[in-house]
């Protein structure tokens, strides 16, 4: 029991250190994470590099794969891209094993002590982030040392040694048991790095030769698929396919290497070093790189297989409006989650524009049918505001930098402004139906005035959405200038229309509707101006 609790404590420190190191790396990467994701193209080789690099930063292939499932679910990554990233993630996760196999336990406490001192006494965010990386690095090795000491007494238990050695006998049953052991432990702890850390601790104490550890490593690769498969529950069909591709990639790799290449890998790593821990880490890296090189040319076939096993349902083929880019899996990587919530806000903004343009079209063309389309869109916009708002609350509770907090705060205001644009579009659609029901006529002059103001407001709102997308400060300033012009225009049109009413050139009912319309248009321009101010606030800070 003592061995179990010491091993558990060491594993806890190991995972905690890995998490701190990953968080520090991610915060140091910051906006670079955005660029890394943007690099993704249909180029499979580039996707592999991106997958490996992102996994090295966040220190978890499971987290990368879960993120990929989220990207696919949000429709911002296709299955071919996802396949490449998943393969790269398997390579990136071997870095943890390489780090853990280094014999740096003697200096780990010194590294932690110095790094904590730096973290406590500096106010520089970048220095703090780098200190966090080294704190995690040191704690990881302290955890490894705990695990090594915990398993050391196991050398005296012949039964345990015999069981581990049996994994390397090469028989079908023993190999299958070794693979299942790696799979089971990884599936339970939800981390292949945790399993690898335990294996390295055993190997360091001479309890686990490479012949026995390699099939267990194969099992850990399959076990890590469980996280992605669980993550795909409730996601769309394409996301489920991404999880299936991950599973098939690791299963096929295990089968092929167990049959044809296991002895070759063992021979290579034994020639490189005699240290069992280093042999294990090198075998882990060599297997994942070789597996990727072997199966990457067949990525298209894996995608086709996934499409056949999980065909698209008819209801999924239709274009669904509403939330497209948000996925809670991405909250694990806040810098990426912010990119996605901005995209979703833009998606909502475009929908509000469509709603507004339809409402004016309904009014100008006397169309009740088009007005009813506006009402449908308005319900979607309201729903989107709630969902984006809830997502932003969760995002604001993650580990964000000061600048990222500014962006999130600005987005809270922006989605409210966009929702209000949808409300004004709803008002305009109601006025359109009122016009149809009461058969109201408008003079040519009044119609032209409404069209002119509408064109300016549309331009202002369009530019606000563009400024939100690009962070263009010059564009944001132009919107603020035009907002003053639109305010003046609204007052001018109000005065001239009241004069028409006084001269009885316009029916009273039509006059009231006209004034209501220009009031709604002016308010839409105000909300466009608010969006521009939010962009300026977030960008300038």
Residue in this structure with the two tokens 């052991």, named with its chain if needed: 181
pLDDT > 90? residue 170: no
Distance CA 242, CA 356 (A): 38
pLDDT of res. 318: 46
Q: Quickly state the pLDDT bin for 31 (edges 50, 70, 90).
A: low
pLDDT tens digits, one per residue of 224-274: 888 777 767 766 677 788 888 888 888 998 888 888 888 888 899 888 888
Distance CA 212, CA 454 (A): 74
Using CA atoms, how far residue 317 sits from 322, 380, 450, in Å, is 15, 19, 39
Distance CA 73, CA 325 (A): 8
Domain with CATH 1.20.58.220 in the chain: 330-540
pLDDT > 50? residue 400: yes
CATH of 330-540, one of 1.20.58.220, 1.10.8.60, 3.40.50.970, 3.30.565.10: 1.20.58.220
Nearest to 282 by CA among 195, 221, 217: 217
Tell me which long-range contacts 469-478 makes (C-beta under 8 A, separation of at least 24).
469/342, 469/346, 471/535, 471/538, 471/539, 472/535, 473/535, 473/536, 473/539, 473/540, 475/532, 476/532, 476/533, 476/535, 476/536, 476/539, 477/532, 477/536
Q: How many CA atoms lie within 13 A of 394 on its CB side?
A: 18
pLDDT > 90? residue 158: no
Please state which of the ranges 84-88, 161-165, 289-293, 382-386 shows the lowest mean pLDDT. 161-165
Q: Find out whether 335 and 404 touch, Cβ atoms under 8 Å.
A: yes
**Mean of pLDDT over the chain:** 82
pLDDT of res. 38: 57
- Read off the tokens for 124: 């520089």
pLDDT > 50? residue 315: no
Using CA atoms, how far residue 457 sits from 243, 478, 488, in Å, is 45, 13, 13
Q: What is the mean pLDDT of residues 12-39?
A: 67
pLDDT of res. 350: 93
Using CA atoms, how far residue 535 sits from 387, 413, 466, in Å, is 21, 10, 10
pLDDT tens digits, one per residue of 188-197: 777 777 788 7
DSSP calls for 238-254? HHHHHHHHHHHHHHHHH
Distance CA 214, CA 24 (A): 31
pLDDT tens digits, one per residue of 32-78: 555 666 565 556 778 888 888 777 776 667 677 777 777 777 666 77
């Amino acid at each position: 029991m003592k061995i179990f609790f010491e091993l558990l404590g060491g594993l806890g420190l190991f995972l905690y250190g890995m998490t701190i190191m990953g968080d520090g790396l991610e915060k140091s990467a910051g906006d670079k994470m955005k660029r890394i994701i943007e690099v993704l193209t249909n180029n499979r080789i580039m996707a592999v590099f991106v997958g490996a690099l992102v996994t090295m930063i966040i220190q978890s292939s499971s987290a990368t794969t879960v993120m990929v499932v989220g990207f696919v679910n949000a429709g911002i990554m296709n299955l071919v891209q996802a396949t490449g990233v998943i393969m790269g993630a398997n390579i990136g996760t071997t870095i943890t094993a390489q780090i853990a196999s280094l014999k740096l336990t003697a200096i780990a406490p010194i590294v932690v002590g110095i790094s904590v001192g730096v973290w406590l006494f500096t106010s520089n965010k970048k220095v703090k982030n780098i200190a966090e990386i080294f704190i995690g690095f040191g704690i990881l090795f302290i955890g490894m040392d705990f695990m090594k000491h915990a398993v050391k007494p196991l050398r005296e238990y012949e039964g345990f040694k015999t069981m581990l050695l049996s994994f390397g006998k090469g028989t079908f049953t023993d190999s299958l048991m070794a693979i299942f052991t790696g799979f089971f432990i990884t599936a339970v702890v939800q981390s292949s790095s945790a399993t690898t850390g335990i294996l390295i601790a055993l190997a360091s104490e001479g309890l686990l030769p490479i012949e026995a550890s390699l099939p267990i490593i194969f099992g850990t690769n399959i076990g890590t698929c469980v996280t992605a498969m669980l993550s795909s529950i409730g996601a769309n069909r394409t996301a489920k396919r991404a999880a299936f591709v991950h599973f098939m990639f690791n299963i096929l790799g295990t089968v092929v290497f167990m049959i044809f290449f296991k002895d070759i890998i063992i021979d290579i790593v034994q020639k490189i070093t005699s240290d069992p821990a280093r042999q294990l880490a090198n075998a882990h890296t060599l297997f994942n790189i070789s597996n990727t090189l072997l199966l990457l040319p067949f990525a298209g076939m894996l995608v086709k297989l996934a499409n056949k096993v999980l065909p698209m349902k008819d209801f999924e083929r239709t274009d669904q409006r509403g939330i497209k880019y948000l996925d809670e899996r991405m909250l694990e990587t806040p810098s990426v989650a912010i990119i996605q919530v901005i995209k979703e806000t833009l998606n909502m903004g475009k929908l509000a524009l469509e709603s507004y343009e339809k409402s004016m079209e309904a009014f100008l063309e006397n169309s009740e049918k088009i007005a009813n389309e506006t009402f449908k869109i308005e319900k979607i916009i309201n729903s989107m505001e709630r969902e984006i708002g809830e997502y932003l609350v969760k995002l604001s509770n993650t580990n964000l930098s000061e600048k990222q907090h500014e962006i999130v705060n600005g987005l809270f205001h922006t989605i409210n402004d966009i929702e209000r644009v949808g409300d004004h579009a709803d008002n305009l659609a109601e006025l359109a139906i009122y016009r149809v029901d009461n058969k109201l006529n408008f003079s040519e002059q009044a119609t032209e005035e409404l069209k002119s103001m509408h064109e300016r407001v549309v331009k202002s709102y369009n530019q606000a959405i563009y400024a939100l997308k690009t962070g263009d400060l010059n564009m944001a300033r132009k919107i603020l200038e035009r907002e003053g012009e639109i305010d003046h225009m609204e007052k001018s049109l109000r005065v001239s229309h009241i004069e028409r009413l006084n001269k009885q050139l316009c029916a009273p009912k039509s006059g009231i509707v006209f004034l209501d319309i220009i009031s709604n248009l002016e308010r839409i321009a105000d909300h466009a101006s608010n969006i521009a101010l939010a962009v300026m606030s977030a960008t300038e800070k």
